[in-house]
Amino acid sequence: MKAKMLEGKVAIITGISYGMGTSMAEVFLEEGAKVVGTARGQEKLDKVVAELKAKGFNDIVGVAADIASTEDTVKVFKTAVETFGDIDIVINNAGIGEMTMIDELSDEWMDHIFETNLGGPMRYTREALKYFMPKNDGVIINISSVNGTRPFCGATYCATKGGVNTFTKNVAMRLSGTNIRINAVAPGSTVTPAHLENLAGEQPGGGEYLKHSGHYVYFPGPECEPRDQAYACLYLASDMGKAVKGQVLQVCNGAFL
């Protein structure tokens, strides 16, 4: 039998209720990890956890949590340790997609997106290091976007993804000389509910900005599948990626070179 790449590891994955997060949870379970998955909505979270358990993956628990909440963040990590005894991997996947143009941006919306898309990964990374630094081991993976360098979506969304890229490198510098590694995955067009909403102009802010940014954007086929992003995370989380630190791995089928 083929050895599993994450046998015995415990992973926290935020935002598992749909799309890439669901695929990440399933791939990590397939490879032997125990998973603590989060989402803000209890009903959708319970449904995904039940579906994964129905496939024979019993080492998963769901915790309803808002990544913009420090209290919820602490709760997720405590649950992981109480349930599975340790934490080895943290994937900061949860986030909000949006298409709001700068001239239509409110302070309230800007703060909401920043607190989730950038504040969330920063909170989870800070909390993870409380567990990783004493044992000098651990993996953190931030989910960024091609919008971190090709900013064709909402103004705040793009700013947060650029921030995630820079934050990832900053923390990697802080962790130089340790066995703790942090990297980011930057998905391109991936067939998820959020991407389909974006193409249909149904994300917050609508589709108006694509009229301005569309001639800067190249969307060749095929689009990526959620598992493509999950496999990139598997590479970085497993021993295959043990020498990779502070990098932003773009997974876009060559669409945004």
pLDDT level of residue 169 (50, 70, 90 thresholds): very high
152 and 173 Cβ atoms separated by less than 8 Å: no
Q: Indicate which residue of 18, 124, 157, 209 is catalytic.
A: 157
Return the number of other C-beta atoms located less than 10 Å from residue 148's C-beta. 22
For residues 66-94, give the mean pLDDT. 98
pLDDT of residue 219: 65
- Mean pLDDT score across all residues of the chain: 95
Residue 159: closest CA among 170, 142, 147, 174: 147
What digits encode the pLDDT tens for the residues 230-256? Answer: 999 999 999 999 999 999 999 999 988
For the chain, first and last CA: distance in Å? 38
Return the number of other C-beta atoms located less than 10 Å from residue 1's C-beta. 3
When comparing pLDDT for 195 and 53, which is higher? 53
Please indicate whether residue 18 is annotated as part of the active site.
no
pLDDT greater than 80 at residue 209: yes
pLDDT of residue 141: 99
Reduced to 3 states (helix: H, G, I; strand: E, B; else coil), residue 215 is: helix
